[in-house]
Amino acid sequence: MSDFEKGNRIVEMGWKPDKESNVPAYRQIIDYMSTKISKGDWTIGSVLPSQRALAKEFGVNRSTVVMALEELESFGILKGEVGKGTQVISNTWSLLISASTPDWSQYLRSGLFKENIPTIRTINKMEFEEGILRLGTGELSPRLYPEEMMKEIFSRLPHSISSLNYVEPLGLLELREVICERLKKKAIHCKPSNVLITSGSLQALQLISVSMLKQGSTIFTEAPSYIKSLQVFQSAGMKLLGVPIDREGIQYWQMASEQKSGEEALLYTIPTFHNPTGYVMTARRRQELFKFCTDNRLPIIEDDAYGDLWIDEEPPTPLKSMDQNGMILYVGTISKTLFPGLRVGWMVGSESVVDRLGDVKMQMDYGASSVSQWVLKEIMSGNAYDQYLEGTRHALKNRRNAMIAALKTHFNHLAFWDIPKGGFYIWVTLKKQVSIDKLFREALKEGILLNPGSIYDFKKSNTLRLSYAYVDEEKIMGSLEKLAVIVRKMQR
């Protein structure tokens, strides 16, 4: 069966991607459509079926179709307009794939760094679309931006910045000194020579992945875990292994049977306001975990992105506070407590490790932004930042309470959840099984962007990561009411 046009609208195709092929389905769709256009089978002005119809025709998820159409739009081959659908606007694909042009898609497929799964790619794109309700976003609302504090900070910068040249490999000394002082409040005692400034905490993980472990090494982590939604360790040839988590933290004893003798491995953990569950590892579990890792010579990466965002009570001190032998790499960031646009994070470890990773970082980007480092140094130097944190915690408490109230109103018979004591997230488990990926797509049709639990878990998931940090407080009740309607329809 071949495709044909009816009134300049393509209404039938009869082709499907080869599911046995090593080529991703979205890439096969791009090749198929580009061939049709370049051969003249689809003329300029032709209108493609809807994304939903294409997904059904091809036998793939809608997000796969979206990825293919977006790439063709980026080449100027297609154009999508509200009310008009997606049209063919150019037939110059043959020029793009002529013999004189390299097959960039083949190069991209050959690279070591794996691409994100389609759901993550869709989330990353749709977060910047107008009119989207971001119910799972891991950042603070722009409404919480401390305008007055930042005005004061920026007014002082011309007098405090001595240079905007490159800074030393470990980062701005003045900032590292301030970070060391602040970490004392968490019972972490370190010197500036133990601190590496990174371009966000995610870069710290990337530096570790390319510098410290060989291919085939095992990364233990909670199941579910934020790191499961990334490809940073997998791209370096390592395997992620999920370890069950309960309300007291990771069940460390289950790692014993998984770790093979002589195998290189480490543990990545978020003990404080865990992402995505919001759990806080108890002080007792922290002590037990630290002893287990010490006895088994298992290094730890401790991610403390949310530690300052406690709401009801201060959490236990970080694992790093127990570390006297440099077995823990402690990672922090300003992205969650203030704003991610500064792109500043830090890692605390032994001098030998920090020096090595600092050298690798210099090879990557020759240092994090010196402007951002000077800004953060000014922010953290006085009392203004602590006052800001106090106000932010109060705002997050109000938002959390509003979301809990909305869940009780609209999801009481649909799901269960725990009330987080800090951080951003509420981990919601639906009582009846539904396709979480389908729920993601159906909600997106209604303008609601979710973070499905399937992107964080190691097994089939019936969960959602909701965030009260970003969505406007007055929209929380209405958005969850709308989401509940979608869930009920799917459960019929």
Q: Which tens digit of pLDDT belongs to each residue from 97-122? A: 444 456 556 666 666 777 777 888 88
Residue 1 — very low, low, confident or very high, per pLDDT cuts 50/70/90? very low
Same domain, 309 and 180: yes
Domain interval for residue 24: 4-109
Q: Determine how many CB atoms are found less than 10 A away from the CB of residue 198.
A: 27
What does the pLDDT read at residue 379?
Answer: 94
Distances (CA, A) of 16 to 59, 60, 250, 254, 371: 7, 9, 43, 43, 51
Structure tokens at 206: 């990337």
Q: How confident is the model over 264-277, as pLDDT tens digits?
A: 899 999 999 999 99
Indicate if 406 and 435 belong to the same structural domain: yes
Looking at the structure, tell me whether residues 155 and 196 fall in a common domain: yes
Q: What is the pLDDT of residue 360?
A: 92
Region 472-482 average pLDDT: 95
Distance CA 36, CA 125 (A): 27
The CATH number of the domain holding residue 24 is 1.10.10.10
- pLDDT greater than 80 at residue 64: yes
Summarised one tens digit per residue, pLDDT across range 116-151 is 778 888 898 889 888 899 999 999 999 999 999 999
Tell me the pLDDT tens digit for each residue of 349-394: 999 999 999 999 999 888 888 999 999 999 999 899 999 999 999 9
Do residues 289 and 379 share a domain?
A: yes
Query: What pLDDT shows up at residue 303?
Result: 97
Residue 162 sits in the same domain as residue 228: yes
* Domain total in the chain: 3
Lowest mean pLDDT among 88-97, 250-259, 290-299: 88-97
Check whether 5 has a pLDDT greater than 60.
Answer: no
In this prediction, residues 5-33 reach a mean pLDDT of: 80
Does 436 lie in the same domain as 370?
no
Lowest mean pLDDT segment, chosen from 52-61, 70-79, 288-297, 406-415: 70-79
CB 344 within 8 A of CB 377: no
Kindly report the CATH number assigned to the domain that includes residue 171.
3.40.640.10
In a shared domain, residues 268 and 287 = yes
| Domain final position from 385, 403, 437 | 385
Q: Which of 385, 408, 429 is the last residue of a domain?
A: 385
| Predicted local confidence at residue 95, as pLDDT | 45
Percent of the chain whose predicted confidence (pLDDT) is above 90: 62
Last residue in a domain, options 385, 414, 442: 385
Confidence at residue 351, expressed as pLDDT on a 0 to 100 scale: 94
| 394 and 374 co-located in one domain | no
For 47-63, the DSSP string reads BPPPHHHHHHHHTS-HH
pLDDT at 8 over 80: no
- Are 248 and 205 in the same domain? yes
Alpha-carbon torsion (258, 262, 265, 267), positive or negative: positive
Q: How far apart are CA 452 and CA 120, in angstroms?
A: 10
Same domain for 188 and 221? yes
Write the CATH number for 479.
3.90.1150.10
- The answer on 270 and 374 residing in a single domain is yes
Which has the minimum average pLDDT: 161-165, 256-260, 349-353? Answer: 256-260
Say if residue 295 is in the same domain as residue 439. no
Residues of the chain with pLDDT > 70, as a percent, come to: 92
CA distance 312 to 397: 8
pLDDT at 100: 47
The pLDDT confidence band at residue 480, using thresholds 50, 70 and 90, is: very high
Query: Is residue 482 pLDDT above 50, yes or no?
Result: yes
| Alpha carbons 390 and 273: distance in angstroms, whole number | 17
The reported pLDDT for the residue numbered 77 is: 87
Q: Which residues of 6-25 are buried (b: 16+ CB within 10 A; e: fewer)?
A: eeeebeebeeebeeeeeebb
pLDDT of residue 160: 85
Cα 300 to Cα 326: distance, rounded to the nearest angstrom:
10
Q: What is the pLDDT of residue 92?
A: 65
Residue 213 to residue 264: CA distance in whole angstroms: 7
pTM: 0.79
Q: Lowest-confidence range among 42-51, 99-108, 297-306, 367-376?
A: 99-108
Question: Bridge partners of 486?
Answer: none
Torsion over CA of 431, 132, 309 and 147, rounded to 10 degrees? -160
For residue range 344-356, list pLDDT tens digits in order.
Answer: 999 999 999 999 9
